[in-house]
Amino acid sequence: MGIKGKVVAITGASSGIGRATAKRLADRGAFVVLGARREDELAAVAGEITAAGGKAVHRVTDVRHRHDLEALVELALHHGGKLDVIVNNAGIGPISRFDALRVDDWDAMIDVNLRGTLYGIAAALPVFQRQRSGHVINIVSTAGIKILPTMGVYAATKNAVRTITEALRQEAGPHLRVTEISPGMISTRFADSMTDPAIKEAMGERMASLAISPDAIAGGVAYAIEQPADVDVGSIVIRPTAQD
């Protein structure tokens, strides 16, 4: 099936994995529909893509709000006439120890990482059902594979998405593909949402020593999309070779 001509909606598209994925897919001929909260950066990504000869539209999208995801899908249908893939990438990681009782951070991770992914699925599924084709790609995390201190709630939200992804795959039938991709330590703004200064500093140091380019994850997304229609890549794990 390839990538050229496919219409792909991507959340969290203004930076990091979302930005890299948008540019990779647009370079391969996809029409990308970009959503994120930061208007200026989102417009800049779309501008870079169109300046390079690619096709992109964007809309400010807060995945905590179901209507925003529905509007992003409608944008894809309006400009692209269809929706082939949704990449539920938006996520935050204000990690901390449980006894720090940063309950607001727990709520935020549940709202963005878990509820935001569900809203993306809910927005895309009716379109995929009408088309009798579609592909859901959920960005998860290796934090849910190897559980570490301070990562409890973050890993729990990502493992909840992992469970949702597998259940959706089993329910999907022959016309819907479902993929989960687990990035390891990737050079993104992951630490920006952290509210614990010591943990934020430690994460920054760890990322500086280990992190690989988000282009690696973009390559994984492209690989899953470009497979023949009867091939479903269920799970991909991509991490630095130096990561435990």
Report pLDDT digits (tens) over 25-37.
999 999 999 999 9
Average pLDDT, the chain: 95
Please name which of 235, 65, 30, 8 lies closest in space to residue 139, comparing C-alpha atoms: 235
Q: Where would I find the beta strands (DSSP E) of 96-202? A: 134-139, 176-183
Catalytic residue numbers, as ranges: 154
118 within some domain = yes
Q: How far is CA 23 from CA 74, 177, 194, 218, in A?
A: 21, 22, 27, 9
Q: Parallel, antiparallel, or unpaired: how do β-strands 31-36 and 134-139 relate? A: unpaired
**Per-residue model confidence as pLDDT tens digits over 60-116:** 999 999 999 999 999 999 999 999 999 999 999 999 999 999 999 999 999 999 999
Q: Quick check: 90 and 45 in contact, CB under 8 A? A: no
Q: How far apart are CA 130 and CA 123, in angstroms?
A: 13
149 within some domain = yes
CATH number at residue 22: 3.40.50.720
The total number of structural domains in the chain stands at 1
1 within some domain = no
Rounded to two decimals, what is the model's pTM? 0.95
40 within some domain = yes
244 within some domain = no
Exposure string for 47-61, b = 16+ CB within 10 A, e = fewer: eebeeeebbbbbbbb
Q: What angle do CA 130, 133, 32 make, to 5 degrees?
A: 100
57 within some domain = yes
243 within some domain = no
Q: In the predicted model, is pLDDT for residue 1 greater than 70?
A: no
**Per-residue model confidence as pLDDT tens digits over 225-238:** 999 999 999 999 99
Phi-psi region of 11 (alpha: psi -120 to 50; beta: other; left: phi over 0): beta
What average pLDDT does range 185-209 have in this prediction? 84
Please name which of 136, 132, 128 lies closest in space to residue 224, comparing C-alpha atoms: 136
Q: Domain range for residue 52?
A: 7-237
242 within some domain = no
Q: In the predicted model, is pLDDT for residue 208 greater than 70?
A: yes
Sign of CA dihedral 181, 27, 119, 17: positive
